Homo-oligomer: A and B are copies of this chain.
Amino acid sequence: MSPKITTELLKQLRQVMKNPKYVQEPIQAYIVPSGDAHQSEYIAPCDCRRAFISGFDGSAGTAIITEQHAAMWTDGRYFLQAAHQMDNNWTLMKMGLKDTPTQEDWLVSVLPECSKVGVDPFIIPADQWKRMSKALRSAGHDLVPVKENLIDTIWTDCPQRPCKPLITLDLSYTGVSWRDKIVALRSKMAERKVMWFVVTALDEVAWLFNLRGSDVEYNPVFFAYAVIGMNTIRLFIDGDRMMDPAVREHLQLDSTLEPEFKIQVMPYGSILSELQAVGAGLSPKEKVWLSDKASYALTEAIPKAYRYLTPYTPICIAKAVKNAAETEGMRRAHIKDAVALCELFNWLEKEVPKGTVTEIIAADKAEEFRSQQKDFVELSFATISSTGPNGAIIHYKPVPETNRTLSVNEIYLLDSGAQYKDGTTDVTRTMHFGTPSAYEKECFTYVLKGHIAVSAAIFPNGTKGHLLDSFARSALWDCGLDYLHGTGHGVGSFLNVHEGPCGISYKTFADEPLEAGMIVSDEPGYYEDGSFGIRIENVVLVIPAETKYNFKNRGSLTFEPLTLVPIQTKMIDVNLLTEKECTWVNEYHQKCREVVGAELERQGRHEALRWLLRETEPLARVQ
């Protein structure tokens, strides 16, 4: 992978930073955040401005360009990737390490006195604006909104904003109609005494209206905003997608409806002026609810006294707790996904020794097997198909320059998932197609112990996910090993593979308590730079637990794995497992056999079934 040469681009950017056509006064620094106007994690090509200016295309990172410097903040998942993709113009700021300055501190240390720092107000979340603005102000600088995005002014071949057709989801998939979701939302609004709610996150718009799209790769969302009043519904969306009879029928656009359920469709670009009109027409005590991560531009449209900002919106919280229809859909999706992976691993086992399978071929084959399954829509993220040293690049994606051939001498790590109409999957398995070394097995077994410790954890109702993070690390810590990423993230139901408000991470303290029906990933790992990567990931459902004393009737929770793909027993050093852990693996594999075995049988995939049976032989502990 050779880095992107950015010398000329940075020169151009520094010129527009002083160009009165775009800025009232010259700015001494320009911030390029990761997201789009909806603060999405995964973004459309037209929104990949940070990747355009720097070359670094990981899913998280903020670039800041000053007259002298260009710096990139990203987290442990991307240290190696960012270092590879950026040229010498850039300084990598490794977030999470002790000596790494924050963006604010760094700016203060490099800026000349009384500097102006610019940012696109539609891209920067209001909470980040506030923090950054305060820190800069207290050092004598100013954060200023720059209306025209400066990257766009130098990005001559910027792609168009996508505007793809919509998919309507009926009750069998969603469990609840959009009307009932609006009713529930309005009741939450009434509880908090707010009159308006502004839906800015793309997955929240999609979830609310039981619609899906494909404007952003891997994320079945579409560019839209919504503004929900107590008696009005406004949907801001472009293109002729609202002409589709199925969509019109689904949203009842042509029906005679009670006025409070009549959806007014408006152009996507009119959100700011419409919201400003809402803001101007508020009477005292009429509050407007926004996420504190909504863009600074939209937040400013509402006068400060009328804003009601929360870190998580009521939609985010409702969306996280899956209902019976969604849970059943997720189960079905994961069984189909397991069928595809059994096929893949059976195929790899035969093909890898021939030396003809590259990371890209393996990823494509995984997609091919998945696409054979019912209701398959697309992948849920770029497949991480990585062998040997590439496995240590935590969010690696094989490209021709890095594409490595799988062999019987290296560990292979596959982190992949798909969008099915009934659910979203995300699974990581780490395999060896030859004979793993004792050290590789040792590391794999510690990771497995961490995975089991989380998956089998029992905890009282009301526990936040971050309190479980250390369980995943304990076995690694005992030997002086660790991994620089969180242990789990929320997973959407035919929606974004990463969603809030819950997760399992030492970094997140604002997560909402885990509740039965929430779905998260459990994915500890271990990475040895330049050698190999190990990760074991299941998607797990939060379910009630049965305990001897039941927390004085407070109730307890545990996890049920939805992912049902064998964990390679060849990689396990059985003697490092406790009896309980050994039983967990055997019971998990027994369930894979029963559930996925039956589906393989039904689909007539006999060779993959034989592979499954071989891979799920019970472990025997030496006593």
User: In whole angstroms, how far apart are the Cα atoms of A467 and B487 in the complex?
Assistant: 13
> Which 9 A-B residue pairs are closest in the complex by CB-CB distance?
A480-B547, A480-B549, A509-B509, A480-B550, A479-B548, A467-B470, A480-B551, A458-B477, A459-B477
Query: Given contacts A480-B549, A547-B478, is CB(A468)–CB(B470) below 8 Å?
Result: yes
Q: Is A506 among interface residues, defined by CB-CB distance under 8 A?
A: yes
Residue total for A at the interface (Cβ-Cβ under 8 A): 31
Chain B residues within 8 Å of A159, by CB? none
Chain B residues within 8 Å of A460, by CB? 477, 480, 482
**Contact between chains at A479 and B98 (CB < 8 Å):** no
Q: Fill in one digit per residue for A441-474: 1 if any B CB lies within 8 Å of its CB, else 0.
A: 0000000000000000111101000011111011
**Contact between chains at B481 and A549 (CB < 8 Å):** yes
> Closest Cβ of chain B: how far from A278's Cβ, in Å?
19
**Contact between chains at B477 and A474 (CB < 8 Å):** no
Q: Fill in one digit per residue for A69-107: 1 if any B CB lies within 8 Å of its CB, else 0.
A: 000000000000000000000000000001000000000
**Contact between chains at A477 and B462 (CB < 8 Å):** no
Of B462, B469, B479, B548, the residue contacting A480 (CB under 8 A) is B548
Chain B residues within 8 Å of A547, by CB? 477-480
With CB as the reference atom, state the residue of chain B lying closest to A549: B480
With CB as the reference atom, state the residue of chain B lying closest to A547: B480
With CB as the reference atom, state the residue of chain B lying closest to A305: B138
Within 8 A of B (CB), among A505-539: 506, 509
Chain B residues within 8 Å of A548, by CB? 479-480
Q: Is A430 among interface residues, defined by CB-CB distance under 8 A?
A: no
With CB as the reference atom, state the residue of chain B lying closest to A285: B140
With CB as the reference atom, state the residue of chain B lying closest to A554: B482
Q: Is A115 among interface residues, defined by CB-CB distance under 8 A?
A: no
User: In whole angstroms, how far apart are the Cα atoms of A511 and B410 in the complex?
Assistant: 41
- This protein's copies in its complex: 2
> Closest Cβ of chain B: how far from A592's Cβ, in Å?
25
With CB as the reference atom, state the residue of chain B lying closest to A442: B548
User: In whole angstroms, how far apart are the Cα atoms of A480 and B544 in the complex?
Assistant: 12
In the complex, 21 of the A-B residue pairs with CB atoms within 8 angstroms, ordered by the A residue number, are A98-B462, A138-B305, A457-B474, A458-B477, A459-B470, A460-B477, A460-B480, A460-B482, A467-B469, A467-B506, A470-B470, A477-B547, A477-B556, A479-B549, A480-B549, A480-B556, A481-B549, A481-B551, A482-B551, A482-B554, A509-B509
With CB as the reference atom, state the residue of chain B lying closest to A509: B509
User: In whole angstroms, how far apart are the Cα atoms of A442 and B383 in the complex?
Assistant: 48
Within 8 A of B (CB), among A150-172: none
User: In whole angstroms, how far apart are the Cα atoms of A404 and B468 in the complex?
Assistant: 40
> Closest Cβ of chain B: how far from A192's Cβ, in Å?
11
Chain B residues within 8 Å of A550, by CB? 480
Chain B residues within 8 Å of A554, by CB? 482
> Closest Cβ of chain B: how far from A270's Cβ, in Å?
29
Chain B residues within 8 Å of A98, by CB? 462
User: In whole angstroms, how far apart are the Cα atoms of A469 and B469 in the complex?
Assistant: 11
With CB as the reference atom, state the residue of chain B lying closest to A482: B460
User: In whole angstroms, how far apart are the Cα atoms of A469 and B458 in the complex?
Assistant: 15
User: In whole angstroms, how far apart are the Cα atoms of A460 and B484 in the complex?
Assistant: 11
> Closest Cβ of chain B: how far from A549's Cβ, in Å?
4
User: In whole angstroms, how far apart are the Cα atoms of A481 and B547 in the complex?
Assistant: 9
User: In whole angstroms, how far apart are the Cα atoms of A474 and B455 in the complex?
Assistant: 13
> Closest Cβ of chain B: how far from A322's Cβ, in Å?
21
User: In whole angstroms, how far apart are the Cα atoms of A369 and B539 in the complex?
Assistant: 57
Within 8 A of B (CB), among A125-142: 138
User: In whole angstroms, how far apart are the Cα atoms of A547 and B478 in the complex?
Assistant: 7
> Closest Cβ of chain B: how far from A556's Cβ, in Å?
5
With CB as the reference atom, state the residue of chain B lying closest to A456: B478
Within 8 A of B (CB), among A276-291: none
Chain B residues within 8 Å of A471, by CB? 470, 474
> Closest Cβ of chain B: how far from A574's Cβ, in Å?
17
With CB as the reference atom, state the residue of chain B lying closest to A529: B552
User: In whole angstroms, how far apart are the Cα atoms of A305 and B140 in the complex?
Assistant: 10
Which of A481, A548, A550 has the largest number of chain B CB atoms within 10 A?
A481
User: In whole angstroms, how far apart are the Cα atoms of A479 and B305 in the complex?
Assistant: 48
> Closest Cβ of chain B: how far from A530's Cβ, in Å?
12
Chain B residues within 8 Å of A468, by CB? 470
Chain B residues within 8 Å of A482, by CB? 460, 551, 554
A458-B477, A460-B480, A479-B547 provided; 20 other pairs, C-beta below 8 A?
A457-B474, A457-B477, A458-B478, A459-B470, A459-B473, A459-B477, A460-B477, A460-B482, A467-B506, A477-B547, A477-B556, A479-B548, A480-B547, A480-B548, A480-B550, A480-B556, A481-B551, A482-B551, A482-B554, A578-B578
Chain B residues within 8 Å of A479, by CB? 547-549
Chain B residues within 8 Å of A138, by CB? 305
With CB as the reference atom, state the residue of chain B lying closest to A508: B509
With CB as the reference atom, state the residue of chain B lying closest to A468: B470
> Closest Cβ of chain B: how far from A475's Cβ, in Å?
10
User: In whole angstroms, how far apart are the Cα atoms of A245 and B98 in the complex?
Assistant: 46
